[in-house]
Structure 1
Amino acid sequence: MAGRQDRLVIAISSRALFNLQDSHRVFEEQGLEAFSSYQVERENDVLEKGDAFPLVEKFLQINQRLEGDPRVEVILLSRNSADTGLRVFNSIEHYGLDISRAAFCNGDSPYRYIAPFGCHLFLSTDGLDVRRALEQGIAAATLVAGGARQRDDDTLRFAFDGDAVIFSDEAEQIFKRDGLAAFAAAERASAQKPLGGGPFKGFLEALQKLQAEFGADSCPIRTALVTARSAPAHERVIRTLRAWNIRIDESVFLGGLPKGEFLRAFGADVFFDDQPSHCASAAEHVATGHVPHGVANEVE
Structure 2
Amino acid sequence: MPSGFGTKLVIAISSRALFNLDESHKIYESEGLDAYARYQIEHEDEILEPGDAFPLVQKLLSLNKHLGGEPRVEVILLSRNSADTGLRVFNSIQHYGLNITRAAFSGGTSPYGYATAFGCHLFLSTNAEDVRHALDHGIAAATLLTSKNKTENAEQIRFAFDGDAVLFSDEAERIYKLEGLSAFTEKEKASAKEPLSGGPFKEFLAALQGLQREFGEYDCPIRTALVTARSAPAHERVIRTLRAWNIRIDESLFLGGLSKGTFLKAYGADVFFDDQRVHCDSASEHVATGHVPHGIANQLLDLPAKLE
Shift of 1:271: 0.2
Deviations 1:62-111 (A, max 9, x none): 00010000000000000111111111011111111000000011111111
Aligned residue number for residue 80 of structure 1: 81
CA contact (8 A) 1:158 1:222 kept: yes
Q: d(CA) in 2 for partners of 1:263 and 1:175?
A: 24
Q: d(CA) in 2 for partners of 1:250 and 1:222?
A: 8
Aligned residue number for residue 147 of structure 2: 146
Q: d(CA) in 1 for partners of 2:26 and 2:80?
A: 14
CA contact (8 A) 1:172 1:295 kept: yes
Identify unmatched segments of 5+ residues in structure 2.
Answer: 304-308
Aligned letter for 2:140?
A
Shift of 1:182: 1.1
Shift of 1:29: 0.6
Aligned residue number for residue 204 of structure 2: 203
Aligned residue number for residue 132 of structure 1: 133
TM-score normalized by the length of structure 2: 0.95
CA contact (8 A) 2:153 2:268 kept: no
Shift of 1:181: 1.2
CA contact (8 A) 1:155 1:220 kept: yes
Q: d(CA) in 2 for partners of 1:75 and 1:225?
A: 26
Aligned letter for 1:30?
E
Runs of 4+ in 1 over 2 A off after TM superposition: none
Deviations 1:194-224 (A, max 9, x none): 0000000000001100110000112110000
TM-score normalized by the length of structure 1: 0.98
Query: Does 2:26 match 1:25?
Result: yes
Aligned residue number for residue 273 of structure 2: 272
Deviations 1:225-283 (A, max 9, x none): 00000000000000000000000000000000000000001100000000010000000
Shift of 1:8: 0.2
Instruction: Indicate how the Cα distance of structure 1 residues 147 and 245 shifts in structure 2: closer, same or farther if over 3 A, else same.
Output: farther
Q: d(CA) in 2 for partners of 1:211 and 1:174?
A: 34
Instruction: Give secondary structure in 1 for the equivalent of 2:60.
Output: helix
CA contact (8 A) 1:11 1:121 kept: yes
Instruction: Indicate how the Cα distance of structure 1 residues 44 and 148 shifts in structure 2: closer, same or farther if over 3 A, else same.
Output: farther
Q: d(CA) in 1 for partners of 2:267 and 2:153?
A: 13
Instruction: Indicate how the Cα distance of structure 1 residues 222 and 94 shifts in structure 2: closer, same or farther if over 3 A, else same.
Output: same
Shift of 1:147: 4.3
Instruction: Indicate how the Cα distance of structure 1 residues 120 and 51 shifts in structure 2: closer, same or farther if over 3 A, else same.
Output: same
Query: Does 2:179 match 1:178?
Result: yes
Aligned residue number for residue 108 of structure 1: 109
CA contact (8 A) 2:16 2:125 kept: yes
Aligned letter for 1:223?
T
CA contact (8 A) 1:58 1:154 kept: no
Q: d(CA) in 1 for partners of 2:140 and 2:6?
A: 17
Aligned residue number for residue 228 of structure 2: 227
Aligned residue number for residue 293 of structure 2: 292
Q: d(CA) in 2 for partners of 1:261 and 1:103?
A: 37
CA contact (8 A) 1:5 1:118 kept: no
Instruction: Indicate how the Cα distance of structure 1 residues 239 and 63 shifts in structure 2: closer, same or farther if over 3 A, else same.
Output: same
Aligned residue number for residue 98 of structure 2: 97
Q: d(CA) in 2 for partners of 1:197 and 1:61?
A: 29
Shift of 1:118: 1.1
Shift of 1:3: 5.9
Q: d(CA) in 2 for partners of 1:118 and 1:147?
A: 32
Aligned letter for 1:71?
R
CA contact (8 A) 1:103 1:110 kept: yes
Instruction: Indicate how the Cα distance of structure 1 residues 147 and 8 shifts in structure 2: closer, same or farther if over 3 A, else same.
Output: farther
Task: Note the aligned Cα RMSD (angstroms).
Answer: 1.0
Aligned letter for 1:92?
I
Aligned residue number for residue 35 of structure 1: 36
Identify unmatched segments of 5+ residues in structure 1.
Answer: none
